[in-house]
Amino acid sequence: MLEELLGGNVLGFMIWIVALVVAISIHEFAHAMVADYLGDPTAKLSGRKTLNPLAHFDPVGTLMLLFFSFGWGKPVPIDPFNLRDPRRDQALISLAGPGSNLILALVLSLVVRLSGNVLGLSILMPIIFLNVTLAIFNLIPLGPLDGFKIVLGFLPEDLARQWQETQSYGIIILLILLFLPIGGFSMGRVVLSLSSSIIKLFLGPSFGTIV
């Protein structure tokens, strides 16, 4: 993303910034909307049930997206005591974020496929790419990410308690997997590889060479 700016492509950089804003805003808005629907108005009362990107800005998560193409927005506040089934409902709330990113990426991909417009793809591709990458990254079942609570919500109660105890170590494990590849394994490369495969699936074979 920053390569565009460093290479003097200001327009390309601005398109990526718009893509970043769209991806984070739709992700966090979806969390807040589903939480409100399931009975917890905490996010809504905190001003998070909005597509206004300023409400969802997280400095570290946004910098991660700028530098590494995966990151996060400001966590949406949830009060589990307002939920009818806290573990299940928190899993659904967590799933809403990545789900909304994938749905948006799919819709935009269909627009490109139906129009057959390669120029349109050059504009929409950053939005498609960041939405898919943000979704895949947040589905990793570790500590602060959505994937952790999604897994937690569907485990039997005894296993769920054990799973909950690992949450505090999640961010450390995540950083090690991202920045200290072990035995040639790099979580970042896995995320980007999965994202590329999904984008090719969404766009179809006629656009495969562009991805």
Give the active site residues.
28
47: nearest Cα among 4, 12, 76: 76
The dihedral through the CA atoms of 98, 102, 104, 105 has a sign that is positive
Tell me the sheet residues that pair with 185: 182
User: Cβ distance 199 to 211 under 8 Å?
Assistant: yes
Using only C-alpha atoms, the chain has a radius of gyration, in whole angstroms, of 18
Confirm if 31 and 96 have CB atoms less than 8 A apart.
yes
Task: State the first-to-last Cα distance of the chain, in angstroms, to the nearest integer.
Answer: 15
Q: What is the DSSP string of 49-79?
A: SS--GGGG--HHHHHHHHHHS----PPPP--
